[in-house]
Structure 1
């Protein structure tokens, strides 16, 4: 009986650690993407890869979470994405690597805010960062 309770607690703790790491990574991606949004740089495949590389290389992120947790956020090698200057377009897919999903969310929020504030911001060229 004690093993079941301990196992359940371990799963709960692992879930909390994962959620903490995901929130941390999302905050890092938001900060990185915001630098580009302020400069009105559109989200291209090359930029998305650069955001991913910078976020995953963040020394603070690496120091706050163990190596096993960090590997959970790596994009699988079996999921290749273009590395071009074309605008990001995932089509109808919603299965995205974490950093990609966070970056797209930040760009979409910025686009909605720009649309709500009026026609003065034209730097975000696409209606949706992923082509919708």
Structure 2
């Protein structure tokens, strides 16, 4: 029973840390999205570095848990100014995945706003 409890506790701690990192990464990415800076490999590395160096993140989670979010050195990614493209790959380091997700969501919102703006509005009887 203790092994199951330890396993559940470890899983919860990991989930909390992942949510914390996602919140941090999305906040950093939002700054760049707001400035309309495209997501390049160099920027992706910078977002990851800033998020993992966040003192609040480091103080809320132990070193072993933080190590799980470090990108393995065996997974090299370009550090260029080319636009990020992972193709169909879904095997991304956590910080990369959160940043890419934030950019994709912002892109979808922008496309939806453009298509809504292009659609003529029908007058409604109640004025909406």
TM-score (norm 1): 0.86
**2:125 alignment partner in structure 1:** none
Question: Please, what is the CA RMSD of the aligned residues?
Answer: 0.7
The answer to whether 1:37 aligns with 2:33 is yes
1:76 to 58, 72, 84: 72
Query: Aligned equivalents of 1:78 and 1:117: distance in 2?
Result: 40
Alignment deviations for residues 11-34 of structure 1 (CA, whole Å, 9 cap, x no partner): 000000000000000000000000
The answer to whether 1:50 aligns with 2:46 is yes
Task: List structure 1 segments (4+ residues) > 3 angstroms apart after TM superposition.
Answer: none
Structure 2, unaligned runs of 5 or more: 116-128
Structure 1, unaligned runs of 5 or more: 120-132
2:6 to 2, 5, 10: 10
Query: Aligned equivalents of 1:87 and 1:33: distance in 2?
Result: 15
**1:65 alignment partner in structure 2:** 61
The answer to whether 1:110 aligns with 2:109 is no
Larger radius of gyration: 2
Residue aligned with 2:104, SS: helix
Alignment deviations for residues 76-100 of structure 1 (CA, whole Å, 9 cap, x no partner): 0000000000000112211000000
Number of positions where the alignment pairs a residue of Structure 1 with one of Structure 2: 115
TM-score (norm 2): 0.89
**1:22 alignment partner in structure 2:** 18
Residue aligned with 1:16, SS: helix
